[in-house]
Amino acid sequence: MIQTELCDLLGIEYPIIQGGMAWVSTAELAAAVSEAGGLGVIGSGAAPPDWLREQLHKAKELTNKPFGVNVMLLSPYLAEIMDILLEEKVAVVTTGAGNPGKYVPALREAGTKVIPVVSSVALAKRLTRSGVDAFIAEGMESGGHIGVLTTMALVPQVVDAVDLPVIAAGGIYDGRGLVAALALGAVGVQMGTRFMCAEECTIPQRVKDFVIRAKDRDTAVSGTSTGHPVRALRNRLTRKYDEMEKNGAPPEEIENLGVGSLRLAMVEGDIENGTVMAGQVSAMVNKVQPAREIILDIMNSAECVLGRLKNQVV
């Protein structure tokens, strides 16, 4: 069995974190992943505080194992979200879109592990001084907001730059990705896109089918001109983004195009006019499976890869 420092740090069985995807990672999915031995993560996104509190209570009813919450630091409800996390004593908080430094002391005092998502070495170095517990180094293969470095390039650089555990994210689908991440110096992986097609994921079936139908070049990066690039599956909305950027539309106009579009896709099921944030491994996802089956498949295939490599190396 593959167990790493991440398992000890988070109190989990397998070194797998489920990505905290806004409007996708609800209590049902997070609890199922935690029950299966990984770390489930609720995606708070820009959702209101009452929604998050409801999700936390639901997750606690579904599992007594550790789970986390992903916090988008640009949320208009950030202060209230942090208050709720402190009150509820959430086991793990992952963060994105900013510096969680001012919140770290209170979270750690409450017993919460704080793990920021980083897309550059500079950001990881800066956040090291804030007292966080680990980093998620996320390459641009991932769905959603992305940086400019690939996972293969980013992870070993972050590993070398900081004296904290590093979790690899972006472009990871199965045991081959897990073993590769460990070879790069990571202590585990975070995966989002594959868990979109978990049985317990509450997004509409038509969104899951859209992911399953995707081919290797079916994701697009939009919003580069605004400084906030996003990877999503190609559809009517991404084509509109492309057209606006080619025509030199102002950044604020491009940003406004995306307002509410993620919820439109992930809650209402509009796969043409909504933003279907998904990574480049979408083409590898070919069926809907229970979260437990996904995790066991990853771990079993990782063991097979390690056995094959052992036989190949003399």
Tens-place pLDDT, residues 160-210: 999 999 999 999 999 999 999 999 999 999 999 999 999 999 999 999 999
Residues 236, 257, single domain; the answer is: yes
Residues 233, 148, single domain; the answer is: no
DSSP 256-281: HHTTTHHHHHHTT--TTTS-----GG
Dihedral of CA 205/67/258/217: which sign? negative
Residues 226, 154, single domain; the answer is: no
pLDDT above 90: percentage of residues in the chain: 84
Domain membership flag for residue 74? yes
Mean pLDDT within 106-121: 94
Residues 236, 122, single domain; the answer is: no
Residue 222: helix, strand or coil by DSSP? strand
Residues 134, 85, single domain; the answer is: yes
Residues 48, 164, single domain; the answer is: yes
pLDDT at 100: 86
Of the candidates 97, 279, 124, the residue with the CA atom closest to the CA atom of residue 186: 124
Categorize the per-residue pLDDT at 314 as very low, low, confident or very high, splitting at 50, 70 and 90: low
Residues 258, 305, single domain; the answer is: no
Please give the structure tokens belonging to residue 54: 């409801």
**Sheet containing strand 144-145, strands side by side:** 144-145, 230-233, 219-222
Domain membership flag for residue 89? yes
pLDDT at 114: 96
Judge whether residue 221 has pLDDT over 70: yes
Residue 101 DSSP one-character state: G
Domain membership flag for residue 231? yes
Domain membership flag for residue 210? no
d(Cα 264, Cα 249) in Å, to the nearest integer? 23
Domain membership flag for residue 63? yes
* Domain tally, the chain: 2
Greater pLDDT, 313 or 238: 238
pLDDT at 151: 97
pLDDT above 70: percentage of residues in the chain: 100
Residues 102, 241, single domain; the answer is: no
Judge whether residue 110 has pLDDT over 80: yes
Domain membership flag for residue 194? yes
Residues 142, 65, single domain; the answer is: yes
Judge whether residue 226 has pLDDT over 90: no
Residue 45: which CATH number? Answer: 3.20.20.70
Categorize the per-residue pLDDT at 310 as very low, low, confident or very high, splitting at 50, 70 and 90: confident
Average pLDDT, the chain: 94
Phi/psi of residue 220, each to 5°? -135, 150
Judge whether residue 228 has pLDDT over 90: no
Domain membership flag for residue 163? yes
User: Residue 265: which domain range?
Assistant: 215-277
Domain membership flag for residue 171? yes
Residues 171, 93, single domain; the answer is: yes
**Are 196 and 173 spatial neighbours (Cβ–Cβ below 8 Å)?**
no
Mean pLDDT within 62-78: 93
Judge whether residue 284 has pLDDT over 70: yes
Residues 160, 229, single domain; the answer is: no
